[in-house]
Amino acid sequence: MTYRLHINGQVHAIDVPGEMPLLWVLRDSLGLVGTKYGCGMALCGACTVHVDGVPQRSCRLPVSSVGDSEITTIEHIGSTEIGARLQKAWLDTDVMQCGYCQAGQIMSAAAMLAVTPKPSHAEIRATMAGNICRCACYNRIENAIRIAAGLEPGGESHDKEHTDVV
Amino acid sequence: MWSERRTFLKASLLAGGGLALEAFTAVPARALAAAGGAGALATAAAHGELTAFVSIAPDGIVTITAKNPDMGQGTKTSLPMMVAEELDCDWAQVRIVQADADTARYGFQMAGGSMSTPTSWMPMRQTGAAARAMLLQAAAQQWSVPVAGLTTSSGRITHAASGRSCGYGEVASAAAQLAPPAAESVPLKQPGEFKIIGRAIAGIDGPRVLRGEPLFGIDTRLPGMLYAVYEVAPAHGGRLVKANIEAAKRAPGVRHVVPIIGDGNADSGLADGVAIVATHWWLANEARAKLDVQWDLARAKGHSTEAYRARASEALAKGGGHELRRDGDPDAALASAATRVSARYDYPFVAHAALEPQNCTALFKDGKVEIWAPTQSPGPGRELTQKLLGLPALEDVTVHVMRSGGGFGRRLMNDYMLQAAAIAKALPGTPIQLIWSREDDIRRDYFRPAGWHALEAGLDAEGRLIAFTDHFVTFGQGENTARGANFTLTMPPADLIPNLRFTQTTMPTVLTTGWLRAPGSNALCFMSQGFLDEVAHAAGKDLPALMLELLGEPRVIPPFGGRGVPFDTARARAVIEKVLETSQWRTGATGARGAAGAARAKGFAFYFCHRGYFAEVVDASVADRAVTVHKVWVAGDVGSHIINPFGAENQVRGSIIDGLAQALVGQAIDVVDGVVQQSNFHDFPLARMPITPAIDIAWVHSDHPPTGLGEPSLPPVIPALTNAIYAATGTRIRSLPVKLPAA
């Protein structure tokens, strides 16, 4: 069956079985490979996208359920104001190690800041608990979210960091 | 030491103009011998391995080749920093390209063992310094002035006397005509002159990752590419009997179903399996249910966690074992001891669970195979692939090294590369991308092997440790241990006390075992520093006091048996003193350390591995059988310089949380008749943000060449945690993962 998907401001006509998770439509039909496969069970958050602004695990989201919703992926998040702020904070503080989970981390953080512009320490931890970082860059993820939100860097998990970026 | 290996330089003119400078370093005789003196490595040995490759284009852009894979450990950024430092250019001028696998050219290309930093420190800097010297000489000739009158800064050459200046690119082609200097003769900067080394520089691939650009192996896209799964036996070592090929072929999107008989090498070769190739990976994966495969699982019968545990228990009760090391007379010393302490420790199989599942893209065409792989070990993968496919020459295999979404030692094995190559060979002309499901990835890991220890220590009347024995039950055949299952003969208190014995008993396993970040050390440190904490308590002191007493006078202890790395007790003492200071251990700012029953307390541990000295203190509390880690203090000595504080601190923070996860979130692999029982992150959990403690890192700089940070900070955090739990609750944790008894 053919589905007309609204992705990153464009409409794509896709002919795939309706049960196929959106993740594989993005990756294998459209070549939007920024959204990552990690577990296929909505356990790790690497595949997080926004569906009408709401964070969803695309590995468990049948394409037939998406309808006319506007889908935003990591490839497009930098064109949003919050997304751009997060990307800058991420780079300024060198958050990532391997980087594989980071698209999902950014998408979850962006959705959180859209609803909660100044999240508390507990809110950040509760929201971001759904996104696994196997390299465990958690101190810096929390810190970068605080910076992007215009909060004081730091928080309980954060310690002195070198910041003299070249 | 690598720093003493000779480096030779070779200059050439770039195709579009500009200077190309290559640094070849002699292949270590031992490495060559280990490789059997054959094949591509022998070719590399003839001219040396290419350790550094830098080019300067006419526009001044400096391109540095990263020869080793990057899986998040940051060497793709930190090694080029060494070159750029001595070249004296701006970091903004630098571009970094990833090299393909080419053993004949690069020698060993591997990311493992925390080896990249120590092996690169001299050659990388020498190459940068030599390129700068050649550029200076070219400018001096062009301007007819003495070299001594020239200075460099930010990629420009200035002649102060005449006011002339030019960018590196303007003289790069002229420099390419000059003979390069002898690498050892080029003066290097004094540490005080460093502008790039020691600065926090963000990882080179960061912007591309955050824009979601294709970068990882799994992101490879080729025209006409299809996606594959490879169904293997549920039990390790299983053989394919038959499968319903036609039913799977009829599933939506499926283009090919290919049964493959492996090479019979269940450990590191190609396993039997059935490949399903489809238009979308998800469709291939869904079609697995239709295969209805019959497997011969006889080989795995009886290989169960419970059976292993029972055998280990029996072996420990029986005693004996193969003697690995004996110093003095441990039996007599134990017999004469005023106090004897004994305990048994164990730890489970653990999977790596890198977040990017194993995957590999391959195209077989005209008798050659081209491979795109996230691998830590591309050179060996290339040779294994050539052998498996029976291709005449190594050049028939091209391996493009892709960024890896985590490695942790898993991608030192290339089993997934062999599978992709075999599938591609069955479908000539069609590029295929093999992706393992998470379930495949957990069940077919090269697991950190489980282990069991019976320990005994003897204290004299003054409370000094005079004897120590460890009977280790591990996996292997006879005296040969399975991969990653070997003992460390220099594990403290070895070399620090007079009477000591290490013995070992092996049993076979069908599970594939391998190297997990800080192999050996990640388990042995838990066991030995946990037990020494017990010994310290029996002697009426704390573990740091016992360790400082054992370390004694500053001295360098040569490696046991003459091979390996010397141990410097002064460096060990310095990190211990440092962490006691930063954690306020002696003043006891938090909790009632050492007082059993306190809800919150600190624990300490020390370890030396991968050339790094690390002492760590964990502040933890226990309530309702749940452990909370509040803060971890780390003191580390990895030599004279931290190349990139950004990357270095990331490695330490990641290692600390990785170690805490091994202890706290329930990571254990169980097996029943060769079938791994865990499959995904619900039953093999990873660390999540809420367990993250505050982490305080203090560097102790010593006058030694810098060494690597991928691994050595991990091991001590586990016993520091379990020692803290003991101090807080009186419960001694002798088995991982941590399970606290009901109140």
Judge whether residue A158 has pLDDT over 50: no
CA distance B376 to B350: 19
Strands (E), B81-154: 94-98, 150-153
Contact B280 A24 (CB under 8 A): yes
Q: Say yes or no to pLDDT of A162 above 60.
A: no
- Do you find a cis peptide bond into B493, omega within 30 degrees of 0? yes
Those of residues 145-204 in B touching chain A at CB distance below 8 A are 196, 199-203
Q: Does B261 touch chain A (CB under 8 A)?
A: no
The pLDDT-based confidence of A163 (bands split at 50, 70, 90) is very low
**Angstrom distance (rounded) from CA B529 to CA B536:** 10
Task: Test B212 with A34 for CB contact under 8 angstroms.
Answer: yes
Sign of CA dihedral B277, B279, B280, B283: negative
- Residue B694: its chain A contacts at CB < 8 A? 139, 156-159
Q: What is the pLDDT of residue B364?
A: 98
Residues of A in contact with B209 (CB under 8 A): 96, 99, 102-103
Looking at domain A78-153, which of 3.40.50.300, 2.40.50.140, 1.10.150.120, 3.40.50.970 is its CATH number? 1.10.150.120
Q: How far is B460 from chain A, CA to nearest CA, in Å?
A: 43
Neighbours of B390 (CB within 10 A): 8
- Give the minimum alpha-carbon distance from A125 to chain B in angstroms, rounded to a whole number: 6
Look up residue B104 and give its two tokens: 């004949």
With beta carbons under 8 A apart, name residues in chain B contacting A32.
212
Environment class of B426 (CB within 10 Å of its CB; exposed 0-12, middle 13-18, buried 19+):
middle
Strand partners, B23: B9, B52
Cβ–Cβ contact B693 with A under 8 A? yes
Contact B406 A36 (CB under 8 A): no
> Where exactly are the structural domains of chain A?
2-76, 78-153
> Minimal Cα distance from A93: which residue of B?
B202
* Annotation: CATH topology of A2-76: Ubiquitin-like (UB roll) (3.10.20)
Contact B441, B456 (CB under 8 A): no
Per the CB < 8 Å rule, is A129 touching B689? yes
Q: Cβ contacts of residue B109 below 8 Å, gap of 6+?
A: B67, B68, B69, B99, B101, B102, B103, B377, B378, B379, B401
Cα dihedral: B408, B409, B413, B414 (round 10): 40
Q: What is the structure's pLDDT at A156?
A: 47
Question: Is A157's CB within 8 Å of B694's CB?
Answer: yes
Q: Do B72 and A96 touch (CB under 8 A)?
A: yes
Which residue does chain B place closest to A76, by CA atoms? B211
Phi and psi angles of residue B62, each rounded to the nearest 5 degrees, phi first = -100, 120
- Is there a contact between B691 and A130 (Cβ–Cβ < 8 Å)? no
Profile chain B (743 residues) by mean pLDDT over runs of 10 residues: 67 93 75 51 62 91 88 88 96 90 75 82 93 97 97 97 96 95 92 94 94 96 98 95 96 98 91 98 98 96 98 97 98 98 98 98 98 93 96 96 95 97 98 98 98 98 97 97 96 97 98 97 98 98 98 96 93 98 83 58 97 97 93 97 95 97 97 98 98 96 94 98 96 97 80
Residue B454, chain A, CB below 8 Å: the answer is: no
Please give, rounded to a whole number of angstroms, the shortest distance from the CA of B617 to a CA of chain A. 16
Question: Under a CB-based contact definition with an 8 Å cutoff, are residues A73 and A29 in contact?
Answer: no
Give the pLDDT confidence score for residue B39 in this predicted structure.
Answer: 58
Residue type, B640: S
Q: Which residue has the tokens 């400018």?
A: B139
Residues of A in contact with B690 (CB under 8 A): 125-126, 129
Q: Torsion-angle region of residue B170: left (phi > 0), alpha (psi -120 to 50) or beta?
A: alpha
Instruction: Residue window 624-663, chain B: list those with CB within 8 Å of chain A.
Output: 645-647, 649-651, 653-654, 656-658, 661
A125–B690 CB contact, under 8 Å: yes
Q: By C-alpha distance, which of B487, B486, B490, B498 is closest to B457?
A: B498
Q: Which of A29, A33, A134 lies nearest to residue B686, judging by beta carbons?
A: A134
A96-146 pLDDT tens trace: 999 999 999 999 999 999 999 999 999 999 999 999 999 999 999 999 999
| pLDDT score, position B303 | 97
B80 touches chain A (CB under 8 A): no
Interface of B with A in 241-260 (CB under 8 A): 252-253
Minimum distance, in Å, between the CA of residue A11 and any CA atom of chain B:
19
Enumerate the residues of chain B whose CB falls inside 8 A of the CB of residue A131.
688-689
Residue-level pLDDT at B624: 86
ipTM higher than 0.90?
Answer: yes
Test the B interface: residue of A47, A97, A146 with most B CBs within 10 Å: A97
Cβ within 8 Å, pair B200-A163? yes
pLDDT score recorded for residue B43 = 58
Mutate to test the interface with A, among B689, B695, B697 (most CBs of A within 10 A): B689
* Shortest CA gap A117–chain B (Å): 19
Q: Which residue of B has its CA nearest to A85?
A: B210
Inter-chain contact B282–A157, Cβ cutoff 8 Å?
no
Q: What is the pLDDT of residue B33?
A: 52
Q: Is the pTM of this model over 0.90?
A: yes
Q: Which residues of A touch B221 (CB under 8 A)?
A: 31, 33
Cβ of A99 under 8 Å from any chain B Cβ?
yes
Minimum Cα–Cα distance from A60: chain B residue: B282
Q: Which of residues 5-44 of B touch A (CB under 8 A)?
A: none
A132 contact residues in B (CB cutoff 8 A):
355, 681, 686-688
Interface residue A123 vs chain B (CB under 8 A): no
Selection from B687, B685, B711, B691 nearest residue B620 by Cα: B691
Spatial distance between the Cα atoms of B449 and B721, rounded to a whole number of angstroms: 21
Among chain A residues, the shortest Cα distance to B70 is held by A98
**With an 8 Å Cβ cutoff, is A164 touching chain B?**
yes
Judge whether A43 is closer than 8 Å to chain B, CB to CB. yes
Substitution target in B85, B209, B213, B665 with the highest count of A β-carbons within 10 Å is B209
Are B708 and B115 a contacting pair, CB within 8 Å?
yes
